[in-house]
Amino acid sequence: MASTSDRWRALATRLRADSIRATTAAGSGHPTSSMSAADLMAVLLSDHLHYDWKAPHGPDNDRLVFSKGHAAPLLYAMFKAAGAIADEELLTLRKRGSRLEGHPTPGLPWVDVATGSLGQGIPAAVGMALAARLLDLDLRCWVLLGDSEMAEGSVYEAFELAGFYRLSSIIAIVDMNRLGQRGPTMAQWDGEPYAARARAFGWNAQILDGHDREAIHRAYQEAEASSRPTCLVARTRKGAGVSFLEDKEGWHGKALSADEAKRALAELGDPAGDLVVETRRPRQASAPRTPSAGAFTPPRYEVGTKVATREAFGDALRALGAARGDVVVLDGEVSNSTFSERFLKADAARFFEIYIAEQQLVSAAVGMQVLGLRPFAATFAAFFSRAYDQVRMAAISRAHLGLVGSHAGVSIGEDGPSQMALEDLAMMRAVHGSTVLYPSCATTAAELTRQMASRDGITYLRTTREKTPVLYGSEERFAIGGSKVLRQSPRDVAAVLAAGVTLHEALRAHALLEGEGLAVRVVDLYSVKPIDAVTVEACARECGGQLVVVEDHWPQGGLGDAVCEVFAGRPSPPSVARLGVRDMPGSGTPAQLLDAAGISAEHIAAAVRRIGRGGTGPGGG
């Protein structure tokens, strides 16, 4: 029987060989970045990873995250060694229609989150570890990082939060192979800066030889026994095992030719036949603890009273928490402004303070939904822009989560443009498969919040700082993809389409115009994506082909573009007057800023008057 050392050596050789074979068959990929970590992953797969490959979504499985997603060939070679995929599939790497994409995605059931945009694996693992603690699961989150990605700020947001919460289930392995894409990394083989940073955030940290398999085994054992998160900084050689690749520049992201692969495999002593590893079983086989839940009791608001939609979101969130045990809330240290604090006061165990670290905020939500939770992450709408890559990657991860952005638009008033989200609708509409909602009323906001908890994909709710009149009674329903027509007549000369704060301006404009004998339709487009195309088309057809879209947002990518897209490619599109924020705003009262931006009731009425006289409004076409 082969010794443990022999098993590790044979498996590491197999992983290196398969990384070369797969990338050579593909004609592209990252074999040398995979080879450097082969010993680290051989010991992990053989003796430390607890995983049921036939039940990849089992709650007790360890989580394995390749934060250095370009080392996907190594990950896929591990899947083959575990018996999860066949050699034939391994050799489909990067080919059209293959599950084995250039960087890992959950198109494979053993991949929890998409990686490849560096610095995102470890923040997602923080979410997994927080979820595991809440659900009382005995698992570990193993994360392989590259040394180049240790320059990413999101890594240190994760290190800080994991240290603060003492997430001992996280074991980060830094593959310090010295060479990045274009040459040496900042620290090269000096592991102390990485270890010192980890220690400063409350982690255990150790520097080791990443090719000494016995040392790797001991380091893993110590990490598993630790009461704090652990960072293992492993000194490795890029292309390890092949003399003409080892620590050589110019090989990043470059596949070997057939002849070069033949030479490399001969030097490795590629073992004949397939090698299948028996991975350790999960540590426990029990159902995760689920917080208790009861009936959903929606908040109710009296029509005509003034309630901010952000406040209604907080009320609905609290009601959701009572009704669903899987709902969790993540805050970017603004819960008293987003009103998510109402959930905190009702159920502190399911409320997670991420502090002012928006990249970690979104990544933690992605990690938590891996374990079956339904996260809501809330902050100021403007601040999601710094986490946009995380939102984009969440979509690639097929994640299901709710993002809630408050304090949107110039209507927030005196705080000024740094706090005014004026691009968030465009940003979130561009996310694949996203849903974008912009309620104008507390009743609408509460009902849409309820629906978000069951909505697939990334759902974004834009809320308003100012208190606005309640427009709808509790009996009203708000279908995602729907709208509400609030004012209409057979004499309508135009339709005003609005959402959020500008809907109330549109209603004021309607009252002004009604006194002048001008009839105008007013539509609440609370569902920005998907938009209610049927109603928008009816408005164009029944209102003389004249539409006025008004939004508290830059003209690019927001509600106006959503409306215009309904008519894309039509031979005779309607005339669309677009009122939006066109100049950089400053400080002032909400009323002053709405008027200065040209989106107040007076400006809407003026646009309709021009239509009534046969002209078009700003941006018309």
Catalytic residues: 358
Pairing of strands 575-579, 546-550: parallel
Alpha-carbon gap, residue 594 to 408, rounded angstroms: 12
- Give the list of residues 6+ apart from residue 173 with CB closer than 8 angstroms, or none: 37, 40, 44, 142, 143, 144, 145, 232, 234
DSSP annotation of 133: H
In angstroms, the Cα distances linking 482 to 438, 478, 486 are 12, 7, 13
- The answer, yes or no, to whether the previous bond of 530 is cis (omega within 30 of 0) is yes
Write 586-591 long-range contacts (CB < 8 A, 24+): 586/416, 586/417, 587/413, 587/414, 587/415, 587/416, 588/413, 588/414, 589/413, 589/414, 590/410, 590/411, 590/412, 590/413, 590/466, 590/501
- Give the list of residues 6+ apart from residue 217 with CB closer than 8 angstroms, or none: 8, 43, 47, 48
The answer to whether 39 and 211 are in contact (CB under 8 A) is yes
Within 13 Å and on the Cβ side, how many CA atoms surround 331?
Answer: 19
Within 13 Å and on the Cβ side, how many CA atoms surround 229?
Answer: 32
Alpha-carbon gap, residue 491 to 572, rounded angstroms: 22
What are residue 549's DSSP bridge partners?
A: 497, 578
What is the chain's Cα-based Rg? 28
Per DSSP, which regions of 109-223 are E strands?
A: 141-146, 170-176, 204-209
SS3 content of the chain, % helix, strand, coil (to 5): 40, 15, 45
One-character DSSP codes across 470-507: --S-TT----TT--EEEE--TT-S-EEEE-THHHHHHH
Residue carrying structure tokens 């109603």: 535
Sheet with 546-550: list strands edge to edge. Answer: 484-487, 521-524, 495-498, 546-550, 575-579
Q: Which of 370, 359, 296, 362 is nearest to 330 (CA)?
A: 362
DSSP annotation of 383: G
Residue count (the chain): 621
One-character DSSP codes across 249-275: TT-TT-PPPHHHHHHHHHHHT--SS--
What are residue 175's DSSP bridge partners?
A: 146, 234
The answer to whether 158 and 126 are in contact (CB under 8 A) is yes
